[in-house]
Amino acid sequence: MYRLATLLCLIALAWAAPVAAQTPIHRCIGANGSAVFTDQPCAALQATPASRVAASAPAVTATTTPTLCAATLGALRQGVIDAFASHDANRLAGMMLWDGYGRGAAVADIQSLTRLMKQPLLDVKAPDESAAAPASASSLADPFAMNVDPAPTAPAHNQLVVHTADSDGNGNPRELRFDIVHQAGCLWLRNAD
């Protein structure tokens, strides 16, 4: 029994010796802002300990989490304007509901949105900006068609109307209509078929 206890103590001592011999790793932020991991104190490298940097950074709370969808018509309209300003078809596509689309239809619409983003944005009208008027049949048939009725009209009760310069150079604006759908506490766009 004495031999077993001695053997276990020696094994424990042999196992603990390398752990005690290890030096601590210092996490520092260098003068250029990059992370530095070293066995020397941060002050020796003229760096700041990472724990002090983290403590001085403002805490992010759950109330500052950004909203990822439009909660108001104004936010939805501004999102469309921002997507055109950055020529980002994916940003506009992110404001649309895609359920019920097949792969081919979704890809075709994304390609149409990409072509659309190359055109200058003239106007975006939301329902609260003007009196509701019935939509013309030609503008509802295919919102991505290149030869749509050029006469700008007021948005229908639940539609967002986008006017862009036409790509054929005739000077007439192109009109696209998107249905506005309220789902999961957000406002989304859907192609007005």
How does pLDDT run across 147-187, given as a tens digit for each residue? Answer: 444 444 444 568 999 999 876 667 788 888 999 999 888 99
How does pLDDT run across 29-52, given as a tens digit for each residue? Answer: 887 777 888 888 888 888 888 775
b/e map 76-100, b = 16+ CB within 10 Å: bbebbeebbeeeebebbbebbeeee
